Structure 1
Amino acid sequence: MTELDPTRPIASAADRPRPAAVEPQVTVVEPRHEPVQDDGPAQVPDAGVPAAAVPDASLPAAELARLVGGWHHDPHGVLGAHRVPGGTAVRVLRPFAERVVLETAEGSCHPMTHQQDGLFTVLLPGAAPASYRLRVTYAGSETLQDDGYRLLPTLGETDLHLIAEGRHEQLWDALGSHPGTVQGVTGTAFAVWAPNASGVRVIGDFNGWNGAAHPMRSLGGSGVWELFVPGIGEGTRYKYEIATRDGRLLQKADPLAQATEVPPATASVVHASSHTWHDQDWLARRAAGTAHDRPMSVYEIHLPSWRPGLSYRQLAVELPAYVRDLGFTHVELMPVMEHPFGGSWGYQVSGFYAPTSRLGSPDDFKALVDALHAAGIGVIVDWVPAHFPKDDFALREFDGQPLYEPADPLRAEHPDWGTLEFDYGRTEVRNFLVANAVFWCQEYHVDGLRVDAVASMLYLDYSREGGAWSPNADGGRENWDAVRFLQEMNATVYRRCPGVVTVAEESTAWPGVTRPTDSTHEGRSGLGFGLKWNMGWMHDSLQYMSHEPVHRKYHHNEMTFSMVYAYSENYLLPISHDEVVHGKGSLVAKMPGDWWQQRANTRAYLGFMWAHPGKKLIFMGTEFAQGAEWDHDTGPQWWVLADDWPAAADHRGVQELVRDLNRIYRDAPALWQQDTDPAGFSWIDGGAAEDNVFSFIRSDRSGRPLISVTNLSPVVRQDYRIGLPTVRADVRDSVWLEVLNTDAEVYGGSGVGNPDPVKAESVAWNGRDTSALLTLPPLATIWLSPA
């Protein structure tokens, strides 16, 4: 057990010991010997008479009404043991108890008097006893219990100071629920931020969801309410019952809960991790570099539907093996945080600190991350700080007033998703989110955060018509509070979690998304992200591919325009879940032509994508040319790979291509080492619109090149001459090998290509001194590497 001493201010909140885990539902406890709180006469501000006039341990009616009604800000000031004229008053709340007897450490017993509404009192002669327990009888059955109201707060002064300043980077260690030991008493510490509440109580399966026995105390002006409940531990279900200033009682899940019930149930669950990590070598390697100078090909997954019915533990067996076999370097998990509606795919989060219980426990999710790391696969999680749902049990008007959301409805309402936005200008809210980002990287060892809907955070008028939004103090549309939050989040994550990468889904031309926060770009400080999704490339290139080949020459710039701005940010190229839902069709279904041409177009496009500057991402099912768009209930169409499926070989061919793309990509630094450096790319011919051909060179830092040529017309182009970079002084010794051909028969293609080594010639072409004649397969991409 971890013994807490709440009487001593701690030097560092990051070092504050967390309570150790205990068994839940402890009902019989051996007597211990600790001092009780002795703070002089009890204060009874609403009694109308001074404390000295109270003849016994009972409470004045007004004080009792506030206490049992749930409106008391300081229940510890009247409950527990307190010196009063004539001795020590001990008061406890035990609703529905038939009898309560106070038993001292020395063994003396003192029956308590039931005053009213579950309040039992006794006046002991002299000073407060060194320690005591309560023998409580319910329905004829007696249990021995500790009194949590004799204990001091479990939060130290440093915690409260950092919370008030919005600088508690391990907020989850201070707030939420933590099983452990305090002053020799086992139980669970609860703490919640609710500054507008008139009173807060803990309710749960340990008290029949009746909070009368467990009012929390307000810790000064911090807005934090705290209570240690003896005898309960891991697995306990609970919520907070919040008394609002306008007289309502709300039942709210814990915003810092680290585990939850399985939806549609909404209670929080006390959790203490027992997982032992085995990825120390992985973390050390990760910290030794950055994502920018490493290969990154990402497989995006919706965990509940990848293999419907599998738990985290089962996924830990199947998913790493599959992803490793295909050669992806990372997985990106659509939001794993708890959410009430499965159809939101996790993008309407109610439990920001808890992985969804649909697939198992928090430790089960840790086991999945551990298994992926063991297989050499990084884990990126989708993180959603842009909005939250309006469900009554969650963050909405958490303490009866707008708290996590802005008070201004023109800023609070998110028009696209029927949700609420966060109040990024409030220090405690910003702290909640910054600490949450750190939490997933630090506690769950994830290797990256893909931040959803960044554009909706940056602009006050996002998806809002004129008059439906409130401008900033300068009259502009920029949300400077959100900017400062994103900068703080990125700076904090990169400082605390070496090797982690943050990725922005940002669809506008906001300058400096991936520039450092201490640099200025176009007059603005950088946001500090590591990577940005290249939504422009995705939109333009898919638009080009949707055209029939005969019309593509009129849209040639849709494939080349991305290189105009390719180095303005650090980019990742996404073919994500957003592109295969809501009637958009799967990737292969977007392609024109018959089934052969659709597959050929898909293969050529993937070859072009893997050669283009920028990291790579495709959504599950795309790797084997799934024909239907994604359905979150059924997941990928795995059956199309089965032997009895008529077109199984066609789908396996695309899957084999993806496997080879990843293998060659990882082994060829030219394709990733200079993703963010213009020196790593040069066009051979970016203007061959009449031919529907795109040819360019990628180079690593040593100058070693790889050539990519894409023919997006359905005809074979024989003796097609392209200029070549000089790799040897004597051009006669320059030989190039075809290392990839998306038209190869093994991928389901026609087998046209360049099986023999390609000899360079001293023929000037495309502005270069040497060139070669190639055979360009139809609707295909080929890669050439010097022999």
Structure 2
Amino acid sequence: MTPRTTPSGSDPKKKAAKATERATDPEKPVKKTATAKKETTKKASATKAVTAKKTAAKKAAGKKAAAEKVPAKKTAEKTAKKTAAKTATAKKVATAAGAAGTAVAKKATAKKTSAKKSTAAKTTKTKATAEKTTVASDRVTVSGPAEPPRAPKPKKAPAPTSTPLAAARAADPARAADPALDAGDRERLLTGTHHDPHTVLGAHPVAGGVAFRAFRPYALSVTAVAGDLRAELHDDGDGFFSGLLPLSDVPQGYRLLVRYEGTEQEVEDAYSFLPTLGELDLHLINEGRHEELWTVLGAHPMTHQGVSGTRFSVWAPNARGVHVAGTFNLWDGTGYPMRSLGSSGVWELFVPAIGEGELYKFEITRPDGSKTLRADPLARRTEAPPNTSSVVTASHHEWRDAAWLDQRAALPAHEAPFSVYEVHLPSWRPGLTYRQLAEQLPAYVKDLGFTHVELMPIAEHPFGGSWGYQVTGFYAPTARLGTPDDFRYLVDALHQAGIGVLMDWVPAHFPRDDWALAEFDGRPLYEHEDPLRSAHPDWGTLEFDYGRREVRNFLVANAVYWCREFHIDGLRVDAVASMLYLDYSREPGQWVPNVHGGRENLDAVDFLQEMNATVYRRVPGVVTIAEESTAWDGVTRATHHRGPGGFGGLGFGLKWNMGWMHDSLGYMSHEPVHRKYHHNEMT
């Protein structure tokens, strides 16, 4: 707020005293004065002072207010009643510009406070008083150095000139004028359907200064702070606070001092930051070709515009609005609306002072206006089940397996001896964490002579009885055994022991949990819109919509993610057959043929080809293995080589021999004395 003072020649207290003295002593003559109307309106003219007569003291006191307010045209009758005089004066004041007008001498019996108010409203020739009478009546100026006088502009508040923030006093906060807030924006923010809250909230240059707006439900007050500047914003109700400060530019690095019941916080304004995602990232997401999707979506601790915080971003194209909620705002995302980035369907918000370990979810406003709280589809860390929140995280693990990676790139797995020990970590030796497993599993596997371990699904899943085959957190290792860095530690230990690590990957389906991917933004998004295509008949789960490029990108990037971020050496892709056939486990009438009238899922074929090609290109030395239980032609053929069926190969490196596994387990299940009668069952 620009500091202003009242010159000594126009002291409101002295003027109030004089006005009171004239009103209480009718014998004392009134001096002739020129009214202030000459300075504020062109129509007003100088009037002669009215001398009070001793013989009519009571009448003179009643008429004096009207006499000083009489316009140049002397049409007002001196014999009007007191009430008529007040009415005429009010009409004349309403005609004058804004709050500018001449001082009104109150009747002799008026209270002292009324006389002060009348005198304070009187316009003087000084700039400070002229500005004071032409701005909104609820502005309170701050005392400070006087400024040279300047003639006021009629019917318009003069544009104040900003001063350096260092010149402003840091005493009691100055209450700023209240800028108007568009009713439509206000309603959209309250209902959670605003697509670009940054255009309304934050600080913005406007005519007359800089408008500050904050949306802080439950706050008692909000004060804008920048250097020595402290300006308390006006409480507009419903959690909105706003103020118009006479500044020429938005102060760099300003903060908000937010006071709640019993506490206060001084934080950077989340709505003062530019978007953290670039046009290239959004273009690649739209095209379904962002091969490092995990680096732009989800929650990422970072430093943005010199401020530490966390970027939250999520793809929800059908949502009417998205907020982020978590432990940092007591799980109420009302005051944390995210902005929609163009037509990408991505919503983004950078929240200062939020770091690792914070729990969060996305609060999504569905197309029908209802709200749902969802876990982050690209969360890289989650709570341990049965809890379902996502966790802000960053990796600090220092890898020590460079020699293994060099060896892997030089000699791919499918060109060398290959024997695999399959293990379900939670049940191998129950109770062990990732780091404890790192002390026992490598030596055990190496002693048995295996070259690789194959970890049954390690991605987060809510139901332990599924053994990990119903995934909800595709980008997070299960928190049952530790943190993501703990899992990296286990993989690192296996590599240093010369053991490769394969991972069971489940891109065929996902569960229907209402806090996860199912109808994520209020409509089918990750699953197919057609119920005949989306429902998996065997497991009661939902199948991915492989024909949607963003969904295909979500899965392709996920395959790359595990190989790049966790140094996984290969992916065993689960349930490939259920992906390839539209009639898999379906009766006639329960499936729809493809465009050629066949039963092949052409979208799934395209997805598998793209996934394999991308993984082999991005991560040298890895291997992909298809768990495919039918006789599909070309499972391990190159994608550009067409087979008898007219399809290119799926591009897998190896095929999981389901028959050998079942035959071998069946043979070994017989008592040793009886096995000689079952040699024919061996593959």
Matched residues, percent identical?
Answer: 66
Aligned partner of 2:236 among 112, 115, 121: 115
**Cα distance in 1 for residues equivalent to 2:655 and 2:338:** 44
Shift of 1:148: 1.2
Aligned to 2:420: 298
State the one-letter code of the partner of 1:120: F
Query: 1:59–1:412: structure 2 CA closer, same or farther, 3 Å change rule?
Result: same
Aligned to 2:467: 345
**TM-score, normalised with respect to structure 2:** 0.72
**Cα distance in 1 for residues equivalent to 2:292 and 2:179:** 41
* Residues 1:379 and 2:504 aligned together: no
Aligned to 1:355: 477
Deviations 1:712-771 (A, max 9, x none): xxxxxxxxxxxxxxxxxxxxxxxxxxxxxxxxxxxxxxxxxxxxxxxxxxxxxxxxxxxx
8 Å CA contact 2:290, 2:553 repeated in 1: yes
8 Å CA contact 2:322, 2:363 repeated in 1: yes
**Cα distance in 1 for residues equivalent to 2:383 and 2:680:** 44
Aligned to 1:659: none
Deviations 1:468-525 (A, max 9, x none): 0111111111111100000000000000111100000111111000011111222320
8 Å CA contact 1:483, 1:527 repeated in 2: yes
**Cα distance in 1 for residues equivalent to 2:667 and 2:497:** 28
**Cα distance in 1 for residues equivalent to 2:441 and 2:259:** 52
Aligned to 2:650: 527
Equivalent residues in 2 for 1:528-547, closer than 5 Å: 528-538=651-661, 542=663
3-state DSSP of counterpart to 1:72: coil
Shift of 1:535: 2.6
8 Å CA contact 2:414, 2:623 repeated in 1: no
Equivalent residues in 2 for 1:605-620, closer than 5 Å: none
**Cα distance in 2 for residues equivalent to 1:322 and 1:223:** 48
Aligned to 1:85: 207
8 Å CA contact 2:178, 2:234 repeated in 1: no
* Residues 1:334 and 2:414 aligned together: no
8 Å CA contact 1:58, 1:115 repeated in 2: no
Aligned partner of 1:260 among 377, 382, 388: 382
Shift of 1:194: 0.2
* Residues 1:245 and 2:245 aligned together: no
**Cα distance in 2 for residues equivalent to 1:287 and 1:500:** 8
3-state DSSP of counterpart to 1:220: coil
* Residues 1:232 and 2:346 aligned together: no
**Cα distance in 1 for residues equivalent to 2:245 and 2:549:** 46
Shift of 1:129: 1.8
Aligned to 2:532: 410
Shift of 1:248: 1.0
**Cα distance in 2 for residues equivalent to 1:328 and 1:239:** 41
Equivalent residues in 2 for 1:703-722, closer than 5 Å: none
**Cα distance in 1 for residues equivalent to 2:179 and 2:352:** 23
Aligned to 2:513: 391
Aligned partner of 1:432 among 536, 554, 579: 554
Shift of 1:424: 0.4
Deviations 1:649-695 (A, max 9, x none): xxxxxxxxxxxxxxxxxxxxxxxxxxxxxxxxxxxxxxxxxxxxxxx
Query: 1:286–1:144: structure 2 CA closer, same or farther, 3 Å change rule?
Result: same
8 Å CA contact 2:384, 2:480 repeated in 1: yes
Query: 1:452–1:107: structure 2 CA closer, same or farther, 3 Å change rule?
Result: same
Shift of 1:219: 0.1
Aligned to 1:588: 668
3-state DSSP of counterpart to 1:372: helix
Aligned partner of 2:219 among 78, 90, 97: 97
State the one-letter code of the partner of 2:246: P
Deviations 1:200-220 (A, max 9, x none): 000001001000111000000
Deviations 1:239-274 (A, max 9, x none): 000001111101100000000001011000001000
State the one-letter code of the partner of 1:488: E
- Two-structure CA RMSD over aligned residues (Å): 1.7
8 Å CA contact 1:337, 1:354 repeated in 2: yes
8 Å CA contact 2:506, 2:573 repeated in 1: yes
Which ranges in structure 1 are unaligned for 5 or more consecutive residues? Answer: 1-54, 543-574, 580-585, 610-787
3-state DSSP of counterpart to 2:329: coil
**TM-score, normalised with respect to structure 1:** 0.63
**Cα distance in 1 for residues equivalent to 2:667 and 2:272:** 64
8 Å CA contact 2:253, 2:268 repeated in 1: no
Equivalent residues in 2 for 1:649-668, closer than 5 Å: none
Shift of 1:595: 4.5
**Cα distance in 1 for residues equivalent to 2:525 and 2:278:** 24
Shift of 1:57: 2.4
State the one-letter code of the partner of 1:178: H
* Residues 1:465 and 2:587 aligned together: yes
3-state DSSP of counterpart to 1:222: coil
Shift of 1:596: 4.0
Aligned to 1:126: 247
**Cα distance in 2 for residues equivalent to 1:153 and 1:116:** 28
| Bigger mean CA deviation after superposition, 94-103 or 144-153 | 94-103
**Cα distance in 2 for residues equivalent to 1:56 and 1:383:** 57
Aligned to 1:447: 569
**Cα distance in 2 for residues equivalent to 1:601 and 1:167:** 55
8 Å CA contact 1:338, 1:351 repeated in 2: yes
3-state DSSP of counterpart to 2:510: coil
State the one-letter code of the partner of 1:107: D
**Cα distance in 1 for residues equivalent to 2:594 and 2:246:** 64
Query: 1:605–1:147: structure 2 CA closer, same or farther, 3 Å change rule?
Result: farther
**Cα distance in 2 for residues equivalent to 1:120 and 1:538:** 67
**Cα distance in 1 for residues equivalent to 2:262 and 2:305:** 30
**Cα distance in 2 for residues equivalent to 1:605 and 1:238:** 57
3-state DSSP of counterpart to 2:195: coil
Shift of 1:62: 3.0
Aligned residues: 505
Aligned to 1:195: 317
Shift of 1:236: 0.5
Equivalent residues in 2 for 1:52-67, closer than 5 Å: 56-67=178-189
Pair member with larger Rg: 2
State the one-letter code of the partner of 1:72: H
Shift of 1:537: 4.2
Which ranges in structure 2 are unaligned for 5 or more consecutive residues? Answer: 1-176
Aligned to 1:313: 435
3-state DSSP of counterpart to 2:633: coil
Structure holding more strand per residue: 1
**Cα distance in 1 for residues equivalent to 2:290 and 2:179:** 40
3-state DSSP of counterpart to 1:460: coil
Shift of 1:447: 0.3
Deviations 1:92-115 (A, max 9, x none): 1222112211111x3210001121
Shift of 1:126: 3.0
**Cα distance in 1 for residues equivalent to 2:215 and 2:596:** 54
Deviations 1:597-651 (A, max 9, x none): 45x789x899x88xxxxxxxxxxxxxxxxxxxxxxxxxxxxxxxxxxxxxxxxxx
**Cα distance in 2 for residues equivalent to 1:176 and 1:248:** 23
**Cα distance in 1 for residues equivalent to 2:179 and 2:293:** 39
State the one-letter code of the partner of 1:485: F
Aligned partner of 1:155 among 262, 277, 293: 277
